[in-house]
Structure 1
Amino acid sequence: MPLGPDPVRGHGAGYGGRSIALNGNLLGMSSMMMWAAGFPAAEVLLQTWPPLTLITARFAVAVSLMIAIWLWMDGHRQVLGANWTRACWVGGIGFGAGTYLMLLAQSLTDPVTVALIASCAPLVGAVLELFAKTRRMSWRFALGVAASITGGVVATSALEPSQIGVGAACVVIATVLFTWAGMATARDFPNLSTIGRGTITLAGGLIAMSVICLTGFAVGHDLMPLGPVDTSQIGMLLIYACLALGLSQVLFVASISKLGVTVASFHINTAPFYVMIIMVVLGAGWNWLQALGAGIVALGVVLAQGGQRPA
């Protein structure tokens, strides 16, 4: 099942096509809201948890819950008959290594910085779709990509120069891996339900991170949290794993299936705004540049979906 360049093609420009596009955008927005909730939670956990231990625990909690739901919804035959070899490849590289790099970047910078620099995702998605010949460029789509990236640049202008460095490079690499894995998840498992597609590649990420974690332990890395794991930290871990990874992943895969990876990735550029909202609730200050950046991204979403052309 190739990932279509125009998620609503075949439905025309009528109500059906608009309804699918609307649903896809709502799924993308919801996914980013869930994803954004993980940044403040990770900020708390990183104070005592080693990044490698935290990311492995995150995958373990999320995948355990998701596999239980997948088994309940689709049955064991669907789960056992899935293409686990491909899932390990896509999930291990794209989500395993990508998530670790994202968390490493946050440990070197801060949650808003990480969310802001991920604004290159729409450009990465566009390059991947053009390379795969699943999207043709139109002037409206090009303007949409440009607006989305501009929104990220506007928001990023509030950052201190010292925050741009190794941490930023980790975010860029992670974004490329995430975008590729998201496209592959929506494309390479056509016989699976949305919950199945979202779960199987995260399970691949868990396998990869478990191997890396065990290797780190074998060579002498200290992987134990620095303090006791109390109920507050368990709560933060549940948010970081179940909401910001598990639920966010399922919603994002569903959005990609309806919009394509490029347009779905536009919503990643609104994540800094959602992170800022959460941080404001927790006592931080309001940032008008980030709010303006989110508005420009929203304009890009509208522009890009106004003139899509099938490949």
Structure 2
Amino acid sequence: MTTFDTAPRSTLVASNLICLASMVIWAAGLPAADLIIPHMPPVALTAARALLAAAVLLPVWWFVEGKAAVLGANWLKGAWVGFVTLGLASFFVIIALRYNDPVTVAIVSAIMPVIGILLECVADHRPFTRALAIGLVLSVAGGLIAVNGAEGEVRFGIGVLAALASVALYTWGSRETVKAFPDLTPLGRSTITIAGGAIVATLAALADGVLRGQWPDWAAIGWPEFGGLAVFGIGSMAVSQLLWIVSVGRIGIGAASMHMNAVPFYVMLMVFLAGGPWNWGQTLGAAIVVTGAAIAQGLLGGTRQ
């Protein structure tokens, strides 16, 4: 179980920086996904993304921790947790990206801290302190400011429902990844769930192709599309998920999920670097989100009570 109030301040700062890095890398995968999404059915893309991530992490896990750690892990449980966390959640985010732009999908993720805090309070009996309440309010407020700062409108429909489902499943699965494998390192936890999810997703993709003819449009996929898939799978899943599980294990799913509300800013930053406009509304929203996460963990205000 994560210890919420006893971690040294320096450890909390480092853990939050790791979480921030995870969010930045994950955000980079959203625009990159636009390159490959039109050419691959959602189930096939989910499988391809997970397979790429597993192909990177499995050899690293084997090399770093040895054969015994890999073969002795509970792969059945890993397949189940991975299917929910990275299979179903990834499938729904792909559906969401088909119907909405990346900024809108990132904005919907603002609900994640609420789900994360609720999980900790109910399942882990975390006390709902004043600092936690302030941090949660600021996190949600920062997300709302990012919504107002985003161009266009967030229309409630299939895309938004899919994004909400993805966030709920991913939040539960992230916590379960830490809780279900207490004897594994963050590298092992991340790898077993990604690889387990990849196996299930691949079987589902093959069935989808055979039964419904849902195969990738290979003729339309070139190096730019493969590059987008690589960023979406290796960066936005393998690297980002590893950093994410490290941070969840250290600061808990509630505090870690607050960082998700800064993702609209990171997406906007990617767009800006590609030649798009700078958005001060999303910049302010990100600053408020980070402040809220710091207050919730006692990094500002001097108390965690």
When normalised by structure 2's length, the TM-score is 0.94
* TM alignment of 1:37-56, pairs within 5 A: 37-56=28-47
Whole-angstrom distance in 2 between the partners of 1:137 and 1:254: 23
Length, aligned pairs only? 300
Please state if 1:76 is matched with 2:67.
yes
Mapped pair 1:274 → 2:263: no
| Structure-2 residue corresponding to 1:3 | 2
Q: Is the CA contact 1:52–1:223 (under 8 Å) kept in the aligned structure 2? A: no
Matched, 1:187 2:185: no
Shift in alpha-carbon separation, 1:86–1:151, aligned structure 2, 3 A = same
2:235 matches 1:239: no
Query: Which amino acid counterpart does residue 33 of structure 2 have in structure 1?
Result: A
Aligned to 1:302: 294
Alpha-carbon displacement from aligned partner over 1:53-109 (angstroms, at most 9, x marks no partner): 222111111101100110010111100111112111111112210111011101100
What are the within-5 Å matches in structure 2 for residues 100-249 of structure 1? 100-157=91-148, 158=150, 160-161=152-153, 163-225=155-217, 227-249=219-241
The residue aligned with 2:83 is 92
Question: Does the alignment pair 1:27 with 2:18?
Answer: yes
Question: What CA deviation, in whole Å up to 9, does each residue of 1:205-241 have, x standing for no partner?
Answer: 2122112212211222331226343222222221111
* In 2, Cα distance between equivalents of 1:47 and 1:89: 28
Q: Distance in 2 between matches of 1:184 and 1:134?
A: 15
TM-score (norm: length of structure 1): 0.92
Q: Secondary structure at the match of 1:82?
A: coil
Identity %, equivalent residues = 33
SS in 1 for 2:38: coil
Q: Distance between the aligned counterparts of 1:200 and 1:66, measured in 2?
A: 9
Unaligned runs of 5+ in 2: none
- Are 1:48 and 1:227, in contact at CA under 8 Å, matched by a contact in 2? no
Aligned residue identity for 2:145: V
- Give the conservation status (yes or no) of the 8 Å contact 2:36–2:221: no
Work out whether residues 113 and 163 of structure 1, in 8 Å CA contact, stay in contact via their aligned partners in 2: no
State the Cα RMSD in Å.
Answer: 1.5
Gaps spanning 5+ residues in structure 1: where?
12-16
2:42 aligned partner, one-letter code: P
Deviation, structure 1 residue 126: 0.5
Aligned AA (2:2):
L
Give the CA deviation at 1:162.
Answer: 5.7
Letter in 1 for 2:82: G
How far off its partner does 1:117 sit? 0.7
User: Residues 100-130 of structure 1: CA distance to partner in whole angstroms, max 9, x if unpaired?
Assistant: 1011101100111101110111110001011
In structure 1, distance between residues paired with 2:37 and 2:211: 22
